[in-house]
Amino acid sequence: MKIGAIQIDIALGKPEENRQRVEVKVMEAAKKGAEVIILPEMWNTGYALTKLDNISDVDGQPTTGFLSDLAGRLNVDIIGGSISNKVGDRFYNHAMVINNHGSLVYIYDKIHLIKLMNEHRFITGGSRADVFSLRDTTWGLIICYDLRFPELSRKLALKGAEILVVPAEWPKVRLHHWRSLLIARAIENQQYVIAVNRVGQDDQNIFAGHSMVIDPLGDILYEAGEEEETIIMDINVEKVAEVRDFIPVFKDRHPDCY
């Protein structure tokens, strides 16, 4: 399976400009053979939290339609990172997954909200996470700060996730945490981790980039730098079962003791 992970800068509070940028990058990744294309966190607006009432999606639109059209037209699956999305009178950090037929197959609202970025003052946290299927593979998805809560990733692994996707706006000042936690999630759950971070800066943060593809043994297959870049990489999902058979962590668990 060929993955395309799109590491981009985000224009703060400018959803139309960001959609134009994403369309170009997704088309470029598809031309290079990517079958599943992954975007970063809150790519439609960035963390322009005080302006969400005027710039956020409403009930997933227009982004669902935009990504569905792209996916169907290019015959690619799109894991749409996450966007700001208004439902009723509440805002969510909202992820959507679109298959290559343009159909919405999974949604997830970020559960853990980061107080360091005042997210909790404007965003409502989600309450459920599950796995989803693309190309005969079982996937899990968490968003940015969720990475610091290993129980969530383990839950998805126990439900069969072979690949964990982590879209993020992770700041450069905590780059060491980003790299270490991603590697740990891959090792402890014996799964691929594909992490897609943004680059650039907003009013409060410089963002780290360093999007990564990590294999089920915790080896870094590719790590981006701190500029815009699209990772195009083949991964062999069969390696997940091989690693889990070789070191049977899941069979050796004693959850009754935890």
**Of 16, 23, 32, 110, which residue is the catalytic one?**
110
pLDDT in tens, 54-73: 999 999 999 999 999 999 99
CB 141 within 8 A of CB 132: yes
**Which pLDDT score is estimated for 15?**
98
pLDDT value of residue 248? 97
pLDDT of residue 220: 98
**Residue 173: burial class (beta carbons within 10 Å; 0-12, 13-18, 19+):** exposed
Catalytic residue list contains 144: yes
Q: Is 172 a catalytic residue?
A: no
In the set 119, 144, 162, 169, the catalytic residue is: 144
CA dihedral 113, 118, 122, 125 (to 10 degrees): 10
Run of H or E including 232:
strand 229-234
What is the C-alpha to C-alpha distance for residues 58 and 41, in angstroms, rounded to an integer?
17
CA distances for 171 relative to 27, 40, 101, 216, angstroms: 27, 13, 35, 25
List the chain residues with pLDDT less than 70. Answer: none
Whole-structure pTM value: 0.97
Token pair listed for 106: 């999974």
- At residue 114, the pLDDT reads 94
Q: Spell out the domains of the chain, with CATH numbers in brackets.
A: 2-257 (3.60.110.10)
d(CA 78, CA 35): 9
115 given a catalytic annotation:
no
pLDDT at 46: 97
User: What pLDDT shows up at residue 45?
Assistant: 98
CB 233 within 8 Å of CB 222: yes
Give me the catalytic one of 25, 41, 119, 162: 41
> CA separation (Å) from 136 to 101, 132, 203?
15, 10, 42
Number of C-beta neighbours around residue 100 at 10 A: 17
pLDDT by residue (tens digit) across 107-121?
Answer: 999 999 999 889 999
